[in-house]
Amino acid sequence: MSRPLILASGSAYRRALLNKLGLDFDCDSPDIDESPRLGEEPESLVARLAQEKARAVAIRHPEALIIGSDQLATLEGKVMGKPHTHDRATEQLSQASGKQVRFLTGLCLYDAKDGSFQCEVVPFDVQFRELSDSQIEGYLRAEQPYDCAGSFKSEGLGIALFERLIGDDPNTLVGLPLIRLIAMLENKGFDVLAS
């Protein structure tokens, strides 16, 4: 691909996922307000933020294809944010115990050259096992996933929290739906396998 590819993110998790594709890309962290708008539904929020992240970075990279992504988790219709603290993570995992949590990931591929974009919201569901207080405490002490929506890292020990995963692309759960991204790149004439 002769055009620059930019990941509009400061996330080490998203960077690691994109690295799996063996592409040359740079990262540029967007600086946007991620607050939800009054009455904004979770699907609309993640789609809007993925687009806004890509557009914010596009200003600095006018020839590039920009990848924007945003994710949130919902439990029984309520948004679960990043816990940031041990106590909040304990609370989140206790609430999720035995229940299904839906992750929504907004993905946007923005063409800074012509202003066109592709945007989708990719769902992924996680059925949690029934977790004891000691299991939750042991997990949090081991991984300290305080910067992760839902309070776990599925790519690590967090997999032990689950009964099953329901979705098309397990990368979605970490924060970047690679299967959908590959299709978006192909729509712009870029074949990941042929590069």
Supply the residues annotated as catalytic: 70
CA–CA distance, 92 with 194 (Å, rounded to integer) = 43
CA–CA distance, 130 with 163 (Å, rounded to integer) = 9
CB 103 within 8 A of CB 151: no
Tokens of 87: 């106590």
CA–CA distance, 191 with 189 (Å, rounded to integer) = 7
The secondary structure of 96-143 as a DSSP string is: HTTSEEEEEEEEEEEETTT--EEEEEEEEEEEEPP--HHHHHHHHHHH
73 beta partners: 80, 103
The residues near 131 (Cβ < 8 Å, ≥ 6 apart) are 93, 94, 96, 97, 98, 161
CA–CA distance, 10 with 14 (Å, rounded to integer) = 8
CB 107 within 8 A of CB 43: no
